[in-house]
A = this chain, B = another copy of it.
Amino acid sequence: MAEATIRDVARQAAVSVASVSRALNGLANVHPDTRARVLAAAKDLGYVPHAGARSLSLARTHAIGVVLPDLHGEFFSELVRGLDREASARGYHLLLSNMHDKGDHAAQALRTMHGRVDGLVIMAPHIDPAVIAAMLPARLPTVTINTPSGPGGNALRVDNRAGAEAMAHHLVALGRKRIVHIAGPEGNSDAQERLEGFRAALPSDVELQVLPGDFSQASGEQATEALLKAGDAFDAIFAANDMMALGALQALRGAGVAVPQEVAVGGFDDVPLARYLSLTTIRVHMTEIGSRAAARLIDALEVRGAEPLHELITPALIVRATTVTE
């Protein structure tokens, strides 16, 4: 026996499908007796409405698509948790889609979202916004997170510049003069903004050296080892994200360099690990960003005339033991 459909329920209750639909959805204009019969029949048959069919006729799926890069652990879960919290509170599901490879696969995945979701939350700091726009199914409400974009859509962005500035001021206030920045991947807009904001906030008497990195812990470690080997003097490291900062810490510890006395270290993101390892960093509250993104999207879906909005979220400097002694 297959799953019961609304027609089975109608037959069992000896009414029409229309009445079943009305009764089950709590519409008015249904006689109490009829409603009772329908409810009884539905329970009897173990009837569960077919969400797919429902979406088709309502043109409403109550699902939102989430498109993320294959990002590293901590971030991912925090963001998704935030999205899920808001979405499920408002009766929406989350349909996940990681954009691993940038190739056709991603575009393909996006296309298959059409008709499955009511809107999209996209986070893609590593992809050209024009490319994204081209891939999007037309006319699907979208909220972008940390994506460099022209005005037009809904967007949530972390104020990377402000965060980097705060870090710069902090290090400068500590009297550091020869600072090293370990940068993120080249095409990544977060990485670029952090570097630019940092550089712009340093006074002219501070020396800045920039090393390449890729956001991985290993790259932070390698950059730092290379730095130590080169023998240049430096008294602070600001890594473009926490994982690289942790790599740097490891390299420094390995070389017997005292942190923060000889070298202060700062990161960006405030991943959970940072707290445990007492890393000074810039807190980006991903859970909250997730909730806000979902909230904004759902508003756009449900509230008529909700207009596109760009929101810039200012992250906070969190001072810990890698820059100051207790």
Residues of A with Cβ closer than 8 Å to B? Answer: 3, 46, 48-56, 61-63, 73-74, 76-78, 80-81, 84, 88, 93-98, 100, 109, 111-116, 137-139, 246, 272-273, 276-277
Contacts and interface: CB of A to CB of B under 8 A. Distances in A.
In the complex, the count of this chain's copies comes to: 2
B276 A114 contact: no
Chain B CB count within 10 A is highest, among A49, A51, A52, A63, for A52
Nearest to A59: B52
A94 B95 contact: yes
Given A61-B52, A74-B73, A74-B77, A93 B96 contact: yes
Contacts of A109: 88, 93
Contacts of A56: 52-53, 56
A62 B76 CA distance: 23
A148 to B, nearest CB: 25
Given A49-B114, A94-B95, 12 more contacts: A3-B114, A49-B115, A51-B114, A52-B115, A73-B272, A74-B77, A76-B80, A88-B97, A93-B112, A93-B116, A273-B276, A276-B277
12 contacts: A48-B138, A51-B113, A52-B116, A56-B56, A62-B112, A63-B116, A73-B77, A73-B272, A93-B112, A93-B116, A96-B96, A246-B276
A56 B81 CA distance: 30
Contacts of A98: 84, 88
